[in-house]
Structure 1
Amino acid sequence: MSDTSLVNSPAAAIGAYCISSIVMTLGNKFVLSGKNFNLNCVVLAVQSLSCLAVIHVLKALGFVSFRKYSNADAKKWFPIAALLVAMIYTASKAIQYLSVPVFTIFKNLTIILIAYGEVLWFGGVVTPMIFFSFMLIVLSSVVAAWSDVTASAGQSINWIGYLWMFSNCFSQAAFVLVLRKRIKVLGFKDMDTMFYNNLLSIPILLVVSVLFEDWSPENVLKNFPEENRFSVIMMMVITGLLSVGISYCSGWCVRVTSSTTYSMVGALNKLPIAVFGLLFFDPVITFMKVFSIVLGFSAGLVYSYAKIQQQKQKETTLPK
């Protein structure tokens, strides 16, 4: 396979996105776990800054190339960066108020929003089998969350958490759909997308941090204690280096596949992490937990088969 065919290969893009997403997720969990770190926007800004530094070094060495900064491109790309920050911020607020299973259930509903957004914007088609795969992946989350939902029966509903969750669903769908449309309009390549996403996200993240995060001396000291301040900063930089892979592979996957496929792959990425959690971190493995994972993988298989059949039908109806 030539370099050109590899860069335009949906299988290669999906595989690279899966690996980078899992590594990035596990890296963030390792960095923040048990450290009571609550300045999330600062972490994201450091990750973007580290990513920018890496790609500039790679460009200087001749390994990559991307277009020079221009105010015109920045103005056109700024809504993408704003939606990216909105997606990340609303997700962090939603998971602050809701349990992880409930968060996952509603997160997967974003796939359906994106699918029908593609119908409106890109002439996409949602076949009954594709819709069935959407229902399966949502059902897998429902099964995993069933015990938690029944355990919380009778308690008051946290409407603030659900408000943030719905905001996250719409902001994520908007980000993925507008990203794909803007890439086509501006002719951005993968490295161009990576450059502008990280560059424009930094000032937005810093403003959001100043406005909404706790910058009191006590909280700053808690986040950066003197005894391990250097290690905390270094781990933030390391996750920033890891973000290079996810930043590049996200744009690559959206470009060569579709917004819906990108979102579905992102949802399925939770499954390997769930398996690792069951094997190494969960002392109790129940039938319902395992069944939810099986349902999730089944959803991916059904979706893949449906897309293959859809592509075959499209090829047979094209004029010869």
Structure 2
Amino acid sequence: MIGRRSLLGLTFCTCYLASHLTNKYVLSVLKFTYPTLFQGWQTLLGGLLLHVSWKLGWVEINSSLRSNVLAWLPASVLFVGIIYAGSRALSRLAVPVFFILHNVAEVLVCGYQKYVWKEKTSPTKICSFLFLVAAAGCLPFQDAQFDPDGYFWAVIHLFCVGAYKILRKSQKPSVLSDIDQQYLNYIFSVALLVFASHPTGDLFSALDFPFLYFYRFHGSCCASGVLGFFLMLSTVKLRSILAPGQCAAWIFFAKVTTAASSLVLFDVILTRAAVGWCQATEL
């Protein structure tokens, strides 16, 4: 019989795999490369579902969030950078490559903790992070589908992820729960992305999208928003119940499963050297 924690972990992995593969399908197969609209839709639907969940009593949200908006505003700006740059990078890069570059954000967090907060870091951890940086640096030279724009946006994405995690850690203990933080992120993201859709040209360019009136596109977009919401909830629940080491193990398993599935579902060309770097860094 599956225990509660195992069931939670499997639920998280399922949401993680389905969410990332659905996003990859919309971005790469359907080629809906209008990130302000795609991410704006996802955050709008996620915000609405979270608000409804709050009103139904399924989640708790601090009713005095307004007093904490300014303090959390820099993190919300970084969150927009994470989803915008991540969307652009994922549309051009293979999923395993994207995961490796995404993981470099942990190196930034570790470096900040060591040299700014003067926290002790084990030599083994330092060596593993240095190896990860080396792998990420060598990967572009081994990537048979090298796309400079994809790598550019992946670098922006990883810096935003690293800065976001550092900012979250620096505000501990915070009066805002993880759900409160995500609620503010949703609100700010929708406002900023909707406003940016016109200057970036996404608003009118999307009118020429060939699958705009196809059920495949509508279904995939709805699925991406709903799956992203459930991924957020399962992630929050996972971190609140399991120890950090157990969470890391489930995240690792989710990434490995998602990366392996993407090789089967999408047109990916990986050289032996690139596969070796992916396996050596354990995604």
Pick aligned residue for 1:132 from 123, 127, 132: 127
CA distance in structure 2 between the partners assigned to 1:81 and 1:178 by the alignment: 10
CA distance in structure 2 between the partners assigned to 1:265 and 1:201 by the alignment: 28
- Which residue of structure 2 aligns with residue 174 of structure 1? 163
Structure 1 residue 188: Cα displacement: 1.9
**Are 1:221 and 2:207 an aligned pair?**
yes
- Which residue of structure 1 aligns with residue 61 of structure 2? 66
Q: How many matched pairs?
A: 279
Structure 1 residue 162: Cα displacement: 6.0
Structure 1 residue 195: Cα displacement: 1.6
Pick aligned residue for 2:233 from 243, 248, 263: 248
Structure 1 residue 84: Cα displacement: 0.6
**Are 1:118 and 2:113 an aligned pair?**
yes
Larger % of helix: which? 1
Tell me which structure has the larger Cα radius of gyration: 1
Which residues of structure 2 form unaligned runs of 5+?
Answer: none
Structure 1 residue 126: Cα displacement: 2.1
Pick aligned residue for 1:190 from 150, 155, 178: 178
**Aligned residue type for 1:186:** S
1:234-260 CA-to-partner distances (Å, cap 9, x unmatched) read 4322211111123234555677767x9
Q: Cα 1:267–1:52, aligned 2, differ >3 Å: closer, same or farther?
A: same
- Which residue of structure 1 aligns with residue 29 of structure 2? 34
The answer to whether the 8 A contact 2:23-2:224 is kept is yes
1:99-138 CA-to-partner distances (Å, cap 9, x unmatched) read 8777655443322111122335655332111122224445
1:138-186 CA-to-partner distances (Å, cap 9, x unmatched) read 556567665437x97xxxx95x76654443332221111112333x243
The percentage of aligned residue pairs carrying the same residue is: 21
CA distance in structure 2 between the partners assigned to 1:140 and 1:273 by the alignment: 20
Q: Cα 1:185–1:47, aligned 2, differ >3 Å: closer, same or farther?
A: same
Q: Cα 1:262–1:115, aligned 2, differ >3 Å: closer, same or farther?
A: farther
- Which residue of structure 2 aligns with residue 53 of structure 1? 48
CA distance in structure 2 between the partners assigned to 1:177 and 1:14 by the alignment: 25
- Which residue of structure 2 aligns with residue 236 of structure 1? 221
Q: Which moved more, 1:113-122 or 1:139-148?
A: 139-148
The answer to whether the 8 A contact 1:18-1:265 is kept is yes
Structure 1 residue 281: Cα displacement: 4.7
What do you get for the CA RMSD once the two structures are aligned? 4.1
The answer to whether the 8 A contact 2:143-2:274 is kept is no
- Which residue of structure 2 aligns with residue 203 of structure 1? 191
1:182-211 CA-to-partner distances (Å, cap 9, x unmatched) read 3x2432223222222212211112123222
1:39-66 CA-to-partner distances (Å, cap 9, x unmatched) read 2221212111212222233233332221
Q: Classify the secondary structure of the residue corresponding to 1:179.
A: helix
Q: Cα 1:100–1:66, aligned 2, differ >3 Å: closer, same or farther?
A: closer
Q: Give the TM-score of the pair, scaled to structure 1.
A: 0.68
CA distance in structure 2 between the partners assigned to 1:290 and 1:13 by the alignment: 30
**Aligned residue type for 1:133:** S
Q: Cα 1:93–1:70, aligned 2, differ >3 Å: closer, same or farther?
A: same
Q: Cα 1:226–1:245, aligned 2, differ >3 Å: closer, same or farther?
A: closer
**Are 1:81 and 2:67 an aligned pair?**
no
Q: Cα 1:21–1:124, aligned 2, differ >3 Å: closer, same or farther?
A: farther
CA distance in structure 2 between the partners assigned to 1:282 and 1:166 by the alignment: 23
